[in-house]
Amino acid sequence: MNNSLKNFFAKIKSIVSDPESSAVGIDIGSSAIKVVEIKKKRGKVILETYGAIALGPYASLDAGQVTNLSVEKIAEALKEVLKQSGVSSSSLAFSIPVQASLIFTIELPAQIKENEVAVIISTEARKYIPVPITEVSLDYFILPKKESSFEEANTDIADIKNANLPPAQKEKTNVLVVATQNDAVSRFRSIVSQSALSASFFEIEIFSSIRANFEHELSPVLLMDFGASRTKLSIVEFGMIKGYHSIERGGADISLSISQSLGVPFFEAEKMKKEFGLFENPAEKSLSDIIKIHTNYIFSETNNLLLGYEKKYNRTISKVIFSGGGSLLKGLTEEAVNNFRAEIVIGHPFNKVGAPAFLERVLGAIGPEFAVALGLALRKLQ
């Protein structure tokens, strides 16, 4: 084959082949850092590696405890987990904790022009943000309008009072607004710089978790993300957040209560929580009762959110997805069934990537912990 033909086929191959590309998602939480690296090869997303490191020891605390580390300490832990995990890609994406942001919905007139939205959002957002507008970065998403079902359409026709209203008064444009503290972003940029790394982008953790846990849900779904310091509730419809609420109680609070109530060290309480959860411990029968104080509170707050949503939008939540490390608590799903009138599902983010068969059981068990990190990496590959 002459050189001209070789060059021709080489060009054709470069056009039709799918070059390998990889991405790394990094979730820096209050008690641990999680890392996931994935690769796209021949059109398929494949898991390359993953890893986690507890932040407690970097603050002279036990693993699982909530920390407030310096930039230097977090950078140290980050470099260590990347080294242990064998991450090879330099394309890194980082999550921003949801507590560094404010998520809310603003109603605008239906007939508003798209080029007017940004100016109005900047003005209206001041009513919701408790700090000067110069201290936050604003982003917004126009929420899709729900298509009326046949039954709803007939109901509207029958409703004479509603039918007499002009269309502009019946419909509103709902806009999801995300205000992120500039100081928080600056802090994460410092962590990246201290680690001698580069960041492709930063994203509020909730959006990463939704990307990792959701498929093509048509009905409203509640995503419950059980973290170490808080439980994050997101009502999602058509892939967008319709409601958000944070409950200031998480897995570390449960372990601390066990430690104080039973007079055992935190690491022992953490071990007991993971081993038995809400199932009865033969040696310490009060364990489940201690845990239930917290889970009952979380479920009660969640039901209040659901009730408010259903009253406002006349829509029922029929499915709840559990995510985050706290969702792995034994007996939590069974307890949730008694508290919600909805299907309870444990998220399996790693189902979205290819992995060796022998890892299937392990990835299924730890998946909820790595949802945010995986969601970040998936966005990067998109």
Given the DSSP bridges, would you call strands 172-181 and 44-54 parallel, antiparallel or unpaired? unpaired
Q: 354-372: b or e for each residue (b if 16 or more CB lie within 10 Å)?
A: ebeeeeeeebeebbbbbbb
Structural domains of the chain ordered from first start? 1-90+348-382 (3.30.420), 98-182 (3.30.1490.300), 215-347 (3.30.420.40)
Q: What's the confidence (pLDDT) of residue 5?
A: 38
The SS3 of residue 354 is: strand
Q: What's the confidence (pLDDT) of residue 20?
A: 59
Q: How many CB atoms lie within 10 A of CB 277?
A: 21
Question: Taking each helix axis from N to C terminus, what angle separates 287-313 and 266-276, rounded to the nearest 10 degrees?
Answer: 70
Return the structure tokens found at 328.
Answer: 């792995």
Cα 290 to the center of its chain, rounded Å: 27
Q: State how far the Cα of 134 lies from the Cα of 91, in Å rounded to an integer.
A: 30
Q: What's the confidence (pLDDT) of residue 163?
A: 43
Q: Which residues lie closer than 8 Å to 118 by C-beta, 6 or more apart?
A: 140
Q: What is the DSSP letter of 230?
A: -
Q: State how far the Cα of 42 lies from the Cα of 32, in Å rounded to an integer.
A: 33
Q: 316-358, pLDDT tens digit by residue?
A: 998 999 999 999 999 999 999 999 999 999 999 999 999 999 9
Kindly give the parts of the chain with pLDDT less than 50: 5-6, 8-18, 147-169
Task: Report the side by side order of strands in the sheet with 32-41.
Answer: 44-54, 32-41, 21-28, 92-96, 199-204
- Measured at the alpha carbon of residue 367, what is the angle toward residues 365 and 373, in degrees to the nearest 5? 155
DSSP output for 30-91: SSEEEEEEEEEETTEEEEEEEEEEESGGGGTS-TTS-----HHHHHHHHHHHHHHHT-----
- Please classify residue 271 by burial: count the beta carbons closer than 10 Å to its beta carbon, then call 0-12 exposed, 13-18 middle and 19+ buried: middle
Q: What's the confidence (pLDDT) of residue 112?
A: 81
pTM: 0.86
Q: State how far the Cα of 128 lies from the Cα of 117, in Å rounded to an integer.
A: 16
Q: What's the confidence (pLDDT) of residue 218?
A: 78
Q: What's the confidence (pLDDT) of residue 152?
A: 40
E strands of the chain, at which residues? Answer: 21-28, 32-41, 44-54, 92-96, 101-109, 136-142, 172-181, 199-204, 221-226, 231-237, 240-247, 319-323, 343-346
